[in-house]
Amino acid sequence: MGRVGAAILLLFVVAAIFAPILAPHDPALRTAQPFAAPSFAHPLGANDVGQDILSELIFASRLSLTVGFVTTCLATILGAAVGIVGGYLRGAVDAVLMRGVDVILSLPFLPLMIVLAAFLGQNTTNLILVIGLLIWARPARLIRSQVLSVRESGHVQAARAMGATHGYIMFRHVLPRVTPLVAAQFVRTANVSIMLEASLAFLGLSDPFQKSWGAILFYANARSAFLADAWLWWVLPPGLCIAAVVVSFAFLGYALEERVDPRLRSSTPASEPSGDPGTPMPVREDTLR
Amino acid sequence: MPRPSGAAWRRGGGRVAQYALVLLVAVSLNFAIPRLAPGTPIDYLVPSEQVATITPEQRERVLAQFGLEKPLLEQYRLYLTGILRGDLGISAQQGRPVVDMLLERLPWTLVLVGGAITLATVIGGGAGFLSAARRGGRTEAWGLALFMFLDSMPPFWIGLLLLVFFSGYLDLLPVFGALPTSGAAGGFGLTLEFAQRLVLPLATLTMVRAGWLFLVARSSLAGELSEDYILMAEAKGLSRRQVVLGHGIRNALLPLVTAVAVEVGTVVGGATVVETVFSYPGLGRLIYESVLSRDYAVLQGAFLLLAVGVILANLLADLLYPIIDPRVRAETAR
């Protein structure tokens, strides 16, 4: 399962990197009749201004994947830092950080992102900031709960007894122990952020000069592409790309968690009142869409 | 040991305080965003096409009208008292109170979101429990793959495809808005028209959300069924049915309730894009229209209203836990 996910993802990454070579046309130029049906020269036809949809799709993978990757890095680093510091230091710091996490998790994400994106203005940097700064809370909470058990383990206590500083212990002893969980959370977060970017772009909140898969669907919807046969080559492909990337991340996450799981689950103190079982199919706690 | 009811009250009180904090943050965010965003407040208060041509005198007047020349703390106080009186500002585009516009759209969204949550819980949760009770079969594996895939598709895309299929090709269902634009029949006819237009948005949102609830229900019941007390119940000679229904599901219900509560915020987000696809006149569609016309006051009002709804739903779920699960009662009493 993990291999299938990795293979799909690799395919998209390669397409994104070699976009100028792979794309048959320049997606910014009018190379066909508006609303042209698929032909040999234009395998997926053309959009309302006559741009080649296949080329558009290939170039869009650059933006979609970049936004997904950068927001995920941002959110994972932030989430891991908050989770490790809170879980390790406990006390007041932890209480404040976790209150913050609770607050963020209780807000409706998409409407808040829409408001933020609308006010900040439409460009890719803002989009990345808006998504990245809101989705770190779930990983932070999960990582913290594992840190709580790691800080009580022998080698951490030994390091503390020998007088190591908190910063050193967190970086050298706690971080390596939670790295597998951080990796799993990275994959989950990527999943969420790709979907969020697509939703925001579909609502017309992405940079108007750069198109992602969601933005292609925004234009298709605005031009009522679904009323004509054009949906087959204009609406179907971008959605399939989004779904394929999200599924590949889900597969990867599933495989990663299987590998990390057994010890992790049993040593996680149940933060919620559910008797956390050694689940064969890990409960996904972080769908933030 | 103190009486559980007292502990439950304390727990409930703590929760209420926590959600009150969330609400305060949401309200304050709404206050802060326009003041921190690039540009001047004027950009967000007058219709976008007038921003370039506005005269200095007009500018002064707008600032005075919205109390923007006062000190920040005073502005904040006025803003809070305004909200308590139900004043969310005036729409820049339509010149109407934002509250009125929101309340007009709210019922449509409540029907859609409420229906989708109910259906997704029954279908997703039911299928998940069923799948956990019959693990290892071929149908079960396909079910898992199907729901995982459903969980990975963008909601607006599912909506677009359903739209193409059911109204474009089969021409079965009318799709635009929630009610016919002209020649409406009264009473039953109108209800029928509405029901027909509700089918596709509702189906879309249900499909999107059922996937996750399926996964939660499945893993939760599967976990319970591997516990010792299930073995014990079977050893007592109870039928499989009694074991699963009376013991397994009873215990597996709590994670599902948690998931449904967490879902509310997500479903509301999903409704925003799904309503856009179907031109369904709910809050989500209003948000989309306000994004396009840059009607900031409406955007903020809609966010606030949705935040309140999500917070209330979460609070309700929290208060329900002790009723559903005696273990929570015992835990808080400790």
Q: How far is B208 from chain A (nearest CA, A)?
A: 10
Q: How far is A32 from chain B (nearest CA, A)?
A: 24
Q: What is the pLDDT of residues B113-142, one digit of tens each?
A: 999 999 999 999 998 888 888 776 777 778
Cβ contact B168–A227 (<8 Å): yes
The H or E element spanning position B267 is helix B250-278
Q: How far is A168 from chain B (nearest CA, A)?
A: 34
Three-state SS at A278: coil
Alpha-carbon Rg for chain A in angstroms: 22
Question: What backbone phi and psi angles, to 5 degrees, belong to A40?
Answer: -65, -40
Nearest CA in chain B to A246: B152
Which residue from A238, A283, A287 is facing B219, i.e. has the nearest CB? A283
Q: How far is A125 from chain B (nearest CA, A)?
A: 14
Both tokens of residue B7?
């502990």
Mean local confidence (pLDDT), A213-242: 82
Give CA torsion, residues B155, B158, B163, B164, to 10 deg: 140
Cβ contact A273–B328 (<8 Å): yes
Nearest Cα to B113, choosing from B325, B305, B318, B322?
A: B305
Nearest CA in chain B to A254: B148
Put simply, whether A192 touches B (Cβ < 8 Å) is no
Which residue from A221, A247, A284 is facing B212, i.e. has the nearest CB? A284
Burial zone of B331 (CB within 10 Å; 0-12 exposed, 13-18 middle, 19+ buried) = middle
Nearest Cα to B327, choosing from A276, A220, A92?
A: A276
Put simply, whether A98 touches B (Cβ < 8 Å) is no
Nearest CA in chain A to B167: A227
Question: What residues are paired with B90 via a beta bridge?
Answer: B97
Which residue from B19, B222, B258 is facing A280, i.e. has the nearest CB? B222
Question: What residues are paired with A46 via a beta bridge?
Answer: A52
For chain B, 334 residues long, give each residue's pLDDT as a single digit of tens.
444 556 666 766 777 888 888 888 888 888 888 877 776 666 777 666 666 677 777 777 777 777 677 778 888 888 888 888 888 888 877 888 888 899 988 888 889 999 999 999 999 999 888 888 877 677 777 877 788 778 788 888 888 888 888 776 666 666 665 555 554 555 666 677 777 778 888 999 998 888 888 888 888 888 888 888 888 888 888 888 888 888 888 888 888 887 887 778 778 888 888 888 888 888 888 988 888 888 888 888 888 888 888 888 888 877 777 777 666 665 554 4
Put simply, whether A158 touches B (Cβ < 8 Å) is no
Q: Are the beta carbons of A243 and A48 closer than 8 angstroms?
A: no
Q: How far is A223 from chain B (nearest CA, A)?
A: 12
CA B175/CA B182 separation, integer angstroms: 14
Contacts of residue B111, defined as CB under 8 A and 6 or more positions apart, other chains included, come to B198
Both tokens of residue A251?
């597969």
The H or E element spanning position A172 is none
Q: What is the pLDDT of residues B56-97, one digit of tens each?
A: 777 777 777 776 777 788 888 888 888 888 888 888 778 888
Q: How many CB atoms lie within 10 A of CB A153?
A: 13
CA A3/CA A173 separation, integer angstroms: 30
Give me the residues of A, 104-143, that contact B with CB < 8 A. 105-112, 114-116, 118-121
Q: Quote the pTM value.
A: 0.81
| In the block, residue with structure tokens 């606030």 | B304
Amino acid at A70: V
Mean local confidence (pLDDT), A92-105: 88
Cβ contact A106–B265 (<8 Å): yes
Put simply, whether A275 touches B (Cβ < 8 Å) is yes
